[in-house]
Amino acid sequence: MSASGGLGLSSAAFVSASESLVLLRSLGHTVSTAESVTGGLIVAVLTSIPGASDVVRGGLAAYATDVKRDVLGVSSDVIDASGVVSSQTAEAMACSALSIFSSTWGVAVTGVAGPDRQAGIAVGTVFVTVAGPAAIPVGHHDAPVRSEQLSLSGDRDAIRAATVSAGLRLLAGCLASEAGKRSAG
């Protein structure tokens, strides 16, 4: 894989990943992913950087609906009410990553890369969520979450690459905010 990745991943994705790893180390935190539309590309970018093993716990590519439900534990109620391409599903996926991998932070993405619409949802519709930190007293679904809905354009590879960049940028932003709280407090 080239420095920009086989899917035309932007250098910004790798910059965000590097920044995230530095911040995770400085905070003493870890990260994991639960990915649908990207099929594991976010964790692949993170782990492409030397030394990632001290802060990356793992990732799960939950591409099929039954995997989201049966492995990640996204409730049928959430899937039935909101669909698999929704902020609710992305949030449940991110929180499940926290629990499955015992990480401080969880990143999740779900969306439609195309070429066809999915359940009436337009190609390019993507939800990106970061959950954490994992100092959670009761149940992994109590983690604070930050979600973004994206409306992306381009072909399948471009949508997936933009989703990777967005997920890593959101993670880096959340980590920077956490680091700022620590230095202010």
pLDDT tens for 46-103 read 999 999 999 999 999 999 999 999 999 999 999 999 999 999 999 999 999 999 999 9
pTM: 0.92
In this structure, is residue 1 part of a structural domain?
A: no
Rounded to whole angstroms, the Cα distance separating 88 from 60 reads 18
What is the reported pLDDT for 56?
Answer: 98
In this structure, is residue 151 part of a structural domain?
A: yes
What is the reported pLDDT for 2?
Answer: 39
Q: What is the CATH number of the domain that holds 92?
A: 3.90.950.20
In this structure, is residue 20 part of a structural domain?
A: yes
Q: What is the mean pLDDT of the chain?
A: 91
In this structure, is residue 6 part of a structural domain?
A: no
The total of structural domains in the chain comes to 1
32-41 pLDDT, tens digit each: 999 999 999 9
In this structure, of 1-15, 84-98, 149-163, the range with the lowest mean pLDDT score is: 1-15
In this structure, is residue 2 part of a structural domain?
A: no
- Give the structural domain span for 111: 11-184
